[in-house]
Structure 1
Amino acid sequence: MNYRILGRTELNVSVIGVGTWQFGGEWGMNYTQEMVDQILDAAHEVGINLIDTAECYGDHLSEQLIGGYISRHKREDWIIATKFGHEFHNLFSRTDRFDSQSVVKQLDNSLKALQVDYIDLYQFHSGPDAAFDQDELWETLDKQVQAGKIRHLGISIGKNNNIHQVKRATEVGAKAIQVVYNRLDRVPEEEVFPACAKQDLGVLARVPLASGFLSGKYKPGATFASNDVRHRQDAEHQAKLLQEVERIAQEELPEGVDMASWALAWCLKHDAVTTVIPGCKTAEQVRANAAAVALL
């Protein structure tokens, strides 16, 4: 495994992390503690130390499953990133909650679910600029940093061209940006990455496999179960993406190289990107993701 310092933090993160939205049940599977244990055991074995989750992946469900694992292992072996800003109601249904009082409650609930005393990276989660621009919110979060509940603040931007929040990152005390970035979506290269470089912000690239399309497993016409978030995406757009994946496989993918490994390494070769956080459904997928470091 390779490691990089995340921006202006002292966090030495593995270049491959574990994304855990799937643990909340919105990617076509429900997870048991045993399944999560196997995934995180595999991550530890290959040197991965970064787990990314959120309060609304289930009603703190993803965090609870991670906490069930962390409580039985060494806390210091892991860098835990989670997020705030949404109240989960049921699958695919959330309400924004970015007022300072709600955020403190979310933080305390996340700490309880994760069974930890502090969170390494606490991220503003895909909220609108009006919510982001509340001075009271960031003052409250700074107090939580001073209290030791949070080590560092970050911003997970909801739109890849949200330069407003990125440009204000240092001003509000954030040291890392999370953004969708992959071979099929290069929008962050235009403005977001230069702004991150200017401020020395760490970058977590989410959806680096383009919701699994860059895994090489799916062909045009692929369908998804009703409890899989991809079922809700525009079918015509999906078809175009899968056609582009076929072109990439024919014209860009080196012979004999696994597409998923190539796609993860492709993201990591951009100077702005610190780490990628692909989702994974099994321990075998964790090990396959980690193999991408051989291509760097």
Structure 2
Amino acid sequence: MIATKFGHHFQRNFERTRHWSANEVLQQLNASLKSLKTDYIDLYQAHSPGDDEFDNDQLWTMLDKQVQAGKIRHLGLSLKTNDNIFQTTKASDLNIRAIQVVYNRLDRVPEEKVFPSAEEQNLGVLARVPLASGYLSGKYKPGASFTANDVRSRHNEEETTKLLKQVEEIQKTEVPKGVPMASWALAWCLENPAVTTVIPGCKTPEQVALNAKAAELL
């Protein structure tokens, strides 16, 4: 299955430009098909649009035509904020079949409004950042520091310390002994009936295998 996104162009680390007109997105789609060496994309997702960028009839009309032409099998939406009910409730009307949202043990906001709406519309839900930017991996303790090219170096230091203290408590009181915290954190997300799948990051084959073990905990 091939899934990719549209709407942004990365210039360098932490720097990107936004491209949301119907014509620009069509160019992005054709470029992705060429780069991926495929005739179609299974899930083509709007990458964190603002409400003004999202609310664009020309854009969604063009994308629907690409679905009809067979270049896209399903449209998706990656929410910019995990409480954006405005975009979520309009998903089915725009032929969007799946949403992507930040969801993890430290951030449960989607449970309030987004998940109920997704279930009502029978949308697939992809939980991104399920390890809370790695904090729920169990590798980091309060006071941990990160290099300048790490996105976590841009997080508020006081808030990071607070989160890591919370992680310590979760590890003590919620994670079964002998179970890797990362696997537990992924399984925790998957246990929510609204969640279809999770999107964990991985840098090594060992991390891929560890992530896969989360399914065994369900």
TM-score (norm 2): 0.98
Does residue 1:228 correspond to 2:162, yes or no? no
Spell out, residue by residue over 1:135-189, the C-alpha distance to the aligned partner (whole angstroms, 9 max, x if none): 0000000111111111000100010110000000000110001000000000000
What is the correspondence of 1:1-296 to structure 2 with a 5 Å cutoff? Answer: 79-296=1-218
Q: 1:270, CA displacement in angstroms?
A: 0.3
Q: 1:116, CA displacement in angstroms?
A: 1.3
* Counterpart code for 1:260: A
Q: Distance in 1 between matches of 2:190 and 2:137?
A: 16
Q: Distance in 1 between matches of 2:69 and 2:31?
A: 16
Higher relative contact order (CA 8 A, sep 6+): 1
What is the root-mean-square deviation in Å for CA atoms of aligned residues?
0.7
* Counterpart code for 2:135: F
Q: Distance in 1 between matches of 2:214 and 2:67?
A: 34
* Counterpart code for 1:92: F
Query: Any idea what SS the aligned residue of 1:154 has?
Result: strand
* Counterpart code for 1:184: L
Q: Distance in 1 between matches of 2:171 and 2:20?
A: 42
Q: 1:256, CA displacement in angstroms?
A: 1.6
The runs of at least 4 consecutive aligned structure 1 residues that moved more than 2 Å come to none
Query: Any idea what SS the aligned residue of 2:207 has?
Result: helix
Count of aligned pairs: 218
For structure 1, which runs of at least 5 residues remain unmatched after alignment?
A: 1-78
Q: Distance in 2 between matches of 1:221 and 1:181?
A: 24
Query: Any idea what SS the aligned residue of 1:121 has?
Result: strand
